[in-house]
Amino acid sequence: MFEILRKAWPSRTRTGAGAATATMPPPRKRPHNLFEAAAAYVSARVEDDEDGQAEAATWVSPEALSFGVNELACRAVVALARERDESPQAVARALLGLPAS
């Protein structure tokens, strides 16, 4: 019985368990998406980390980064508005230091 199994999986039994994985290519690193880039860019900007900003800016195109930062801003305003029980317009104006309309 065990002999049949050994013949069925020759790469594991004849060459060792590690040999089968040694021939496999290393896993590809997943590219950053625009939301990861936007989050990293904005976080670095808040912390005055110019190197972090520059690195995040290379992860995606400038247009994609701009879209991601815009989307992050919209989501942040909506989240703060819900948390404060205020309108998104009131929160946005307060964040920018503008008088209430």
Q: Max alpha carbon distance in the chain (Å)?
A: 82
pLDDT of residue 32: 78
Whole-model pTM above 0.85? no
Whole-angstrom distance, CA of residue 13 vs CA of residue 17: 7
At 51-92, the pLDDT tens digits run: 999 999 999 999 999 999 999 999 999 999 999 999 999 999
At 20-55, the pLDDT tens digits run: 556 777 776 777 799 999 999 999 999 999 999 999
Residue 67 CB coordination number (10 Å): 15
Q: Is residue 17's pLDDT more than 60?
A: no
Angle of CA points 93, 97, 37, to nearest 5°: 75
Return the amino acid letter for 95.
Answer: L
Per DSSP, 68 falls in state H
